[in-house]
């Protein structure tokens, strides 16, 4: 559920008409609903109520805006990070160091040293080679690194290939069949405190069974590791629960059902559970607000050319993702159209032969479910400045990232000396 609703014929974010934001900030612009973010945290937390005191470590990469992170810090969330940049962002927004989990397949020695010095809950290691590097880094600065191995359970997650991470051919984690050996080797290394097991099989999962299959394998591994004398105190079950994008498709499993499944499968584990939701928290809490530049006739359907493009919202080009597109002031008529951006790529297409509100030049539209993996993937391709971001709370709103200035974009480059400085 979100807080983007029609009131008096105008789409609002909470109590703010989107027309007000478009007028003040211009378009395209991302708009986030703080009430929706907070609601998703509470729903997820309630779904996990029977699991003691789990650590909910928000996957920062889904939406790293400082206002989003500060809202989540207020809600008491930790952070799952995949780079030292995300570590510093999370800390700057007020997330406690002890609630940070460091994931990612390519952590460098410098990133490890910075995170160790600043403090964290655990490193999720992805190979024995990485454990060796971390051990050396930790020994050098005389600190002990809390670690888990991320295991690759070899389950098919049923999601889009580009966001599947838990199949044997994916780059992520230690193959579960080799996990015993990896733990034994890590145990022999100095300055590591082996405390956990981690798993994350993919994103936008719409079926609980691959998650359940993965968690069962993790449970078996925990028992084996304990049998070999390791004190396993943490189990990180990752993120991945899907959110509704297309209202014509069945709803993904609810957080309640997910919580029931986890409660059933982790009974007797006697660990602190860690969860890493990203999309679930912010996906439906954002829209991309855009204006129709013009409508151009097409071979079959017309092209609705909007002022947002693939550089602002990359998901359709990258993953063939489907976003609902709605008029901010619906005229009450429908049409079929292709919705495209101005970028010079045929991939700059948001929707093909889409049944939608019959919009005209100058009308405002929103791309829904654009809170996750959206603004954060924006680029300046075609020399388009980075999209601004707005957060709404009740009847208040604030610019939480101004539109990038075209002059700043130009001045970011430097001329080499042989081209002369006039």
Ligand X SMILES: *Cc1c(COP(=O)(O)O)cnc(C)c1O
- Binding flags for ligand X, 236-255, as an x/- string (CB under 6 A): --xxx---------------
Residue in 255, 259, 278, 371 binding ligand X, rule: CB under 6 A? 278
Q: Does 279 bind ligand X (CB under 6 A)?
A: yes
Residue 262: φ, ψ to 5°: -65, -45
| Count of residues that bind ligand X according to CB under 6 A | 16
Task: Give the range of 135-143, 222-230, 270-278, 357-365 binding ligand X by CB under 6 A.
Answer: 270-278
Q: How far is the CB of 101 from ligand X (least distance, A)?
A: 8
Q: Which CB sits closer to ligand X, 303 or 322?
A: 322
Examine residue 356 and tell whether it contacts ligand X (CB under 6 A): no
Give the distance, in angstroms, between the CA of residue 25 and the centroid of all CA atoms in the same chain: 25
Kindly state the smallest distance separating residue 33's Cβ from ligand X, in Å: 18
The span of 66-74, 234-242, 257-265, 317-325 binding ligand X (CB under 6 A) equals: 234-242
**Sign of torsion, CA 7 25 333 300?**
negative
CA torsion angle 367 372 377 382 (round to 10):
10
Q: Residue 197 belongs to what H/E stretch?
A: strand 192-198
Candidates 22-30, 35-43, 273-281, 406-414: pick the segment binding ligand X (CB under 6 A). 273-281
Per the CB < 8 A criterion, the answer to whether 175 and 153 are in contact is: no
Choose one: 86-94, 217-225, 262-270, 275-283; the region binding ligand X (CB under 6 A).
275-283
Query: Is 344 marked active-site?
Result: yes
Q: Is 40 in the site for ligand X (CB under 6 A)?
A: no
What is the spatial distance between Cα 355 and Cα 259, in angstroms, rounded to a whole number?
36
**Window contacting ligand X (CB under 6 A); options: 173-181, 233-241, 254-262, 395-403:** 233-241
Q: Which of 12, 61, 234, 315 binds ligand X (CB under 6 A)?
A: 61
Region 124-163 residues binding ligand X, contact defined as CB under 6 A: none
Q: Length of the chain, please?
A: 422
- Give me the residues paired with residue 59 across strands: 80
Between the alpha carbon of residue 44 and those of residues 54, 59, 77, 309, the distances in Å are 11, 14, 11, 32
Of residues 277, 286, 330, 388, which one binds ligand X by CB under 6 A? 277
Nearest CB to ligand X, comparing residues 200 and 329: 200
User: Distances in Å between the alpha carbon of 110 and those of 85, 100, 115, 133?
Assistant: 12, 17, 9, 10
The nearest distance, CB 170 to ligand X, in angstroms, is: 11
Token pair listed for 249: 């498709």
Instruction: Tell me whether residue 154 or residue 276 sits nearer to ligand X (CB atom).
Output: 276
Alpha-helical (H) ranges within 150-254 are: 179-187, 209-227
Among the listed ranges 36-44, 56-64, 186-194, 248-256, the one in contact with ligand X (CB under 6 A) is: 56-64
Query: What is the spatial distance between Cα 325 and Cα 289, in angstroms, rounded to a whole number?
Result: 10
20: part of which helix (H) or strand (E)? helix 18-25
The contact mask relative to ligand X for 75-104 (x = CB under 6 A, - = no) is -----x-x--------------------x-
Choice from 200, 217, 323, 384 touching ligand X (CB under 6 A): 200
Matching residue, tokens 């359709």:
316
Considering the rule CB under 6 A, would residue 274 count as an interface residue with ligand X? Answer: no
Nearer to ligand X, 134 or 339 (CB): 134
Q: Quick one: three-class SS letters along 83-149?
A: CHHHHHHHHHCCCCHHHEEECCCCCCHHHHHHHHHHCCCEEEECCHHHHHHHHHHHHHCCCCEEEEE
Q: Minimum Å distance from CB 111 to ligand X?
A: 15
Cβ–Cβ < 8 Å for 143, 191: yes
219 vs 238, which CB is nearer to ligand X?
Answer: 238
DSSP state of 253: P
283: Cα separation from own chain's centroid: 8
The catalytically annotated residue of 231, 299, 344, 421 is 344
**What number of other Cβ atoms are within 10 A of residue 160's Cβ?**
14
- Asked if 203 interacts with ligand X (CB under 6 A), we say yes
* 61 or 368: CB nearest ligand X: 61
Instruction: Specify whether the CB–CB gap between 70 and 95 falls below 8 A.
Output: no
Catalytic residues: 344
Binding interface with ligand X (CB under 6 A): 59, 61-62, 80, 82, 103, 200, 203, 238-240, 276-280
């Amino acid at each position: 559920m979100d807080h983007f609703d029609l009131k008096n014929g105008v789409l609002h974010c909470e109590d703010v008409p989107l027309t007000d934001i478009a007028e003040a900030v211009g378009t395209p612009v991302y708009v986030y609903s703080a009430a929706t973010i907070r609601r998703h945290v509470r729903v997820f937390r309630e779904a996990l109520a029977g699991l003691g005191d789990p650590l909910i470590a928000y996957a920062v990469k889904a939406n790293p805006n400082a206002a989003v992170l500060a809202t989540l810090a207020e809600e008491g969330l930790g952070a799952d990070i995949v780079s030292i940049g995300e570590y510093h962002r999370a800390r700057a927004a007020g997330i406690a160091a002890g609630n940070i989990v460091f994931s990612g397949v390519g952590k460098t020695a410098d990133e490890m040293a910075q995170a160790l010095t600043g403090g964290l809950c655990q490193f999720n290691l992805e190979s024995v080679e990485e454990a060796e590097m971390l051990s050396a880094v930790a020994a050098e600065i005389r600190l002990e690194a809390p670690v888990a191995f991320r295991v690759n359970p070899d389950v098919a997650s049923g999601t889009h290939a580009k966001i599947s991470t838990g199949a044997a051919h994916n780059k992520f984690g230690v193959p579960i069949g080799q996990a015993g050996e990896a733990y034994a080797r890590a145990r022999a290394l100095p300055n590591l405190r082996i405390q956990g097991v981690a798993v994350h099989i993919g994103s936008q999962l719409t079926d609980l069974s691959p998650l359940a299959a993965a968690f069962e394998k993790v449970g078996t591994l925990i028992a084996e590791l304990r049998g070999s004398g390791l004190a396993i105190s943490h189990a990180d079950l990752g993120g991945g629960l899907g959110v509704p994008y297309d209202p014509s498709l069945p709803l993904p499993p609810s957080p309640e059902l997910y919580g029931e499944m986890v409660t059933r499968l982790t009974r007797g584990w006697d660990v602190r559970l860690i969860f890493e939701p990203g999309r679930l928290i912010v996906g439906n809490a954002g829209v991309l607000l855009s204006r129709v530049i013009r409508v151009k006739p097409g071979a079959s359907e017309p092209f609705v050319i909007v002022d947002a493009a693939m550089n602002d919202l990359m998901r359709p080009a990258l993953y063939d993702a489907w976003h609902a597109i709605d008029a901010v002031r619906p005229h009450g008529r429908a049409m079929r159209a292709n919705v495209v951006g101005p970028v010079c790529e045929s991939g700059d297409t948001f929707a093909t032969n889409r049944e939608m509100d019959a919009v005209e030049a100058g009308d405002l539209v929103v791309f829904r479910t654009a809170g996750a993996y959206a603004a954060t993937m924006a680029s300046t391709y075609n020399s388009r400045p980075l999209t601004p971001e707005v957060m709404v709370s009740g009847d208040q709103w604030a610019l939480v990232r101004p539109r990038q200035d075209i002059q700043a974009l130009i001045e970011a480059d430097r001329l080499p000396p042989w081209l002369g400085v006039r």
